[in-house]
Amino acid sequence: MKTLIATLALMMALSTPAQAEQASCEQIAELAESIMDARQSGLSVVDAMGASGGSAMIERMIIEAYESHRYKAEIWQTGEIADFRDKWFLYCYKSMKQ
């Protein structure tokens, strides 16, 4: 939870798509990884949303993370976290190229 809150605090400036484009895709991928890691670790969606600070982009990430399956096996959790991180990196990268 502390890692998620610290990461979210760093990303609070990303509250609109225009602001998100200003951030590096690596930072967005790092945030997505932290959110999915928290989800796979069992953090409740209520607590995750409470740490979002009202950022639309962060709330969207949280919703997508919590719509994904939560795995018990660490190997599956690791894969889910990496896939989610890479998906958000690609969202960012593609939007920067348009």
Give the three-class secondary structure for 24: coil
At residue 89, does pLDDT exceed 80?
yes
Residue with tokens 């989800």: 39
- How far apart, in Å, are the Cα atoms of 45 and each of 30, 49, 60? 19, 6, 12
Per-residue confidence (pLDDT) for residue 3, from 0 to 100 = 55
Backbone angles phi, psi at 23, to 5 degrees: -80, 155
Contact 29, 88 (CB under 8 A): yes
Total-model pTM: 0.78
Per-residue confidence (pLDDT) for residue 72, from 0 to 100 = 95
Contact 35, 67 (CB under 8 A): no
| pLDDT, averaged across the chain | 84
Q: Quickly state the pLDDT bin for 22 (edges 50, 70, 90).
A: low
Whose CA is closest to 66, among 40, 87, 86?
A: 40
Averaged pLDDT, 59-88: 97
Per-residue confidence (pLDDT) for residue 21, from 0 to 100 = 53
Whose CA is closest to 68, among 83, 52, 53, 58?
A: 83
Per-residue confidence (pLDDT) for residue 17, from 0 to 100 = 53
